[in-house]
Structure 1
């Protein structure tokens, strides 16, 4: 009898605990369910930029086919869904996404309450992005964010706090650095790590930096084979950011990733030497062509001079990082000449050779990696080392690389076409990388510290320009 009473008491306690557990928030239950299923479910928040859709240009084994989308009503969400529908209906390798959409002014609060997924994808108005990131992390949702995560010093401080919160909650914040997957950039980095070829990175000067990254972009372009319609807010530097703190994020990231591979950086490693900004001018016809809007909206009137819109989307940063002089430059033109597109230039200056990426007319506007030796007397030995690097050292990862002599000291690296997959395909590669980090619940030790240094660099450049312009 005593055993029966004891068993009864235990049973009642068990039921009580279950009832208590049943009072857990829906959020906790949904997270538990996701972990049990070992599935990743995406939430897309306020997708104002087409990069959010490019994350879904591919399917992923770990990711549920259903994506939950929360956004305000308007053209941004319509354009996003149109791109997803295009991926689903294409003839070659169609995707199979199902979009569950909530559209309303309370989209952020609704996302938090519903808690339908465990990864928030965010790509849109950059002035709001840090608020979205903080809300997601506070709610226990990982963040996969398009660059830039922040565009001003206040946002940077909030981002530092978000990283601390994410660490305490065992969550990840990761930004979409597609340019690390461009093959000429990969090989530039790989060759710079072979001292017999590159030597070591020079310290550089403001006139001749140790490493330079320059990119040219265009407002009018095709995405997924169709003309891109850009939202009107994209032309407002208060909402989107400008050259110094938007596209420069990629260039600063590449400088860190290539010049200091697998090294952990800190804010004290950085010194801004100079920063500049300048405008690109669009008339009403140009603006209508890329947005569909026949007039400039009120929030852009501050940037209208006469009947032309001046957008301060161009910028350059000259800085030192760990004693090496580096430079970034971002230029936005309206439209690329026929047969061309966005272009990239890069140079890493070593003690034995320079590694140069060009994408001009001579290269048919395709990225081409060159190796320029610094000394004729080292030519024979360096040529042997180059052949060894391409045929042995790098052959396991990148088969079929060849050398072609351009002049007495310069060689072009001939890269098989299979590695030249294009910018849009890089989104799938970055996403697979992130999913691996998510499943293992870890990232390289240097990733978060270096993200912090990256955004410190771009936001410090903004402060530098603002102070310079106020004098």
Structure 2
């Protein structure tokens, strides 16, 4: 072998090695007003550049975001290695669209502006991972339709952050509902006795990443954050579709609204100051003040509807804080043979637990049918209680809400590598936001 050939071969191998080590994904963060923008960077990812280009107006929202990223970089256990390259200016959106320094855009912030961000970014040919909700009213829903059309035209992905699909109890509830030997078939129920009920309780004052969460002042303005009926209920409506009709392409014709209602959570100036560090209500909140002292926030909502004939109720509640526990989730799916229920109350020590309630399936048949699920999820088991079975779930499956953001990002990066979402995702996202925005219209008529 000649020296020339040897050095030429070495050069080729070195070049190929460099290509294989390149990280093709680079994040862009746009106007990160919500802490969810930071949570997707709570871990490192393979094949993702450490440099993240951030575009935002100058202000406290941006500073709080950068502090959260820095806390991940400097923590003792599993530190991240993000380098935030920040552009501050009132033309942040135009600057981001012009420069396009990255190929995965993360949007989590003020929901009044979010749908416009999504639409313009999709038109610019950028892949988008957006926090929920992607729209908060019917006008925004029409923009969202345009955004999905633009994403399809430009061959990019548009996806929302549905963390609750990563919660192990909801995963197993869905799995068990697909085992006819245990669950039977999903019942249609009635408006008075729905077959699916999902309720989520949240708190304005809580801890995130080990510290008290500081809320931006606009978070309490439903014209910017969105009412509860179009915000957190997005998760609940998504779970109904995902669990009851897995991998099925739905349409708006499958949705029949029965009723909807909304009501406020009250907040004093002192409470407002604790979570925002501001000693007065800003002018944009004065429209929501009662007696000039108490803030009325329409954060609570309930939607009763039929999805392909299945009567469903979703309900979201917001309290200021809780003396014990934290945010909680309740869910029940009613089958012809069994009910599958998630409870997260004081009896469960505020840890979500999954139960199977049946008197139509023998113990032997139940255990036999459950065996296949145990093989898929090693370590889970059934414990017989007085009137139900507890699904015992090992701690290794309980990754926690904050970790779920990383799990959603992993799924999105996998879709990005394939440059394709599952066929049902886009139509079902549109059905989801149709349901929430139409429910808001209905609730406001009362």
TM-score for both structures, normalised by structure 1:
0.89
* Aligned mate of 1:403, from 370, 382, 390: 382
**Matches of 2:93 and 2:20, distance apart in 1:** 23
**Matches of 1:329 and 1:452, distance apart in 2:** 20
**Matches of 2:232 and 2:46, distance apart in 1:** 30
Q: Which protein shows a greater Rg?
A: 1
Say whether the 8 Å CA contact 1:390–1:401 is kept in structure 2. Answer: no
Q: Report the equivalent of 1:248.
A: 233
- For residue 150 of structure 2, give the secondary structure of its aligned residue in structure 1: helix
Per-residue deviation, 1:214: 0.1
Q: Report the equivalent of 2:320.
A: 334
Q: Report the equivalent of 2:434.
A: 456
**Matches of 1:379 and 1:462, distance apart in 2:** 41
Per-residue deviation, 1:35: 13
Quick check: 1:431 aligned with 2:417? no
TM-superposition CA deviations, 1:14-62 (whole Å, max 9, x none): xxxxxxxxxxxxxxxxxxxx99956111100000000000000011112
**Matches of 1:91 and 1:390, distance apart in 2:** 40
Q: Report the equivalent of 1:8.
A: none
Q: Report the equivalent of 2:198.
A: 213
TM-superposition CA deviations, 1:357-394 (whole Å, max 9, x none): 00011100110100000x3xx342xx223323443x12
**Matches of 2:68 and 2:369, distance apart in 1:** 42
Quick check: 1:388 aligned with 2:368? yes
Taking a change above 3 Å as real, the CA distance of residues 100 and 35 of structure 1, as seen in their structure-2 partners, is farther
Spell out the pairing of 1:229-268 with structure 2 (5 A cutoff).
229-268=214-253
Per-residue deviation, 1:402: 1.2
Q: Report the equivalent of 1:317.
A: 303
Say whether the 8 Å CA contact 2:255–2:305 is kept in structure 1. Answer: yes
Quick check: 1:106 aligned with 2:91? yes
Per-residue deviation, 1:446: 0.4
Q: Report the equivalent of 1:413.
A: 391
Spell out the pairing of 1:114-133 with structure 2 (5 A cutoff).
114-133=99-118
Taking a change above 3 Å as real, the CA distance of residues 127 and 36 of structure 1, as seen in their structure-2 partners, is farther
Per-residue deviation, 1:396: 3.4
Quick check: 1:64 aligned with 2:86? no
Give the total of aligned pairs: 427
Where in structure 1 do 4 or more consecutive aligned residues deviate above 3 Å?
34-38
Spell out the pairing of 1:249-398 with structure 2 (5 A cutoff).
249-306=234-291, 307-338=293-324, 340-373=325-358, 375=359, 378-380=360-362, 383-391=363-371, 393-398=372-377
Per-residue deviation, 1:395: 2.6
* Aligned mate of 1:440, from 409, 412, 418: 418
TM-superposition CA deviations, 1:397-418 (whole Å, max 9, x none): 31111111121x4111110011
TM-score for both structures, normalised by structure 2:
0.94
Taking a change above 3 Å as real, the CA distance of residues 344 and 262 of structure 1, as seen in their structure-2 partners, is same
Instruction: Provide structure 1 residue ranges, at least 5 long, that are not aligned to the other structure.
Output: 1-33
TM-superposition CA deviations, 1:425-462 (whole Å, max 9, x none): 00011100000000111111100000000000001101
Per-residue deviation, 1:248: 0.3
Instruction: Provide structure 2 residue ranges, at least 5 long, that are not aligned to the other structure.
Output: 1-18
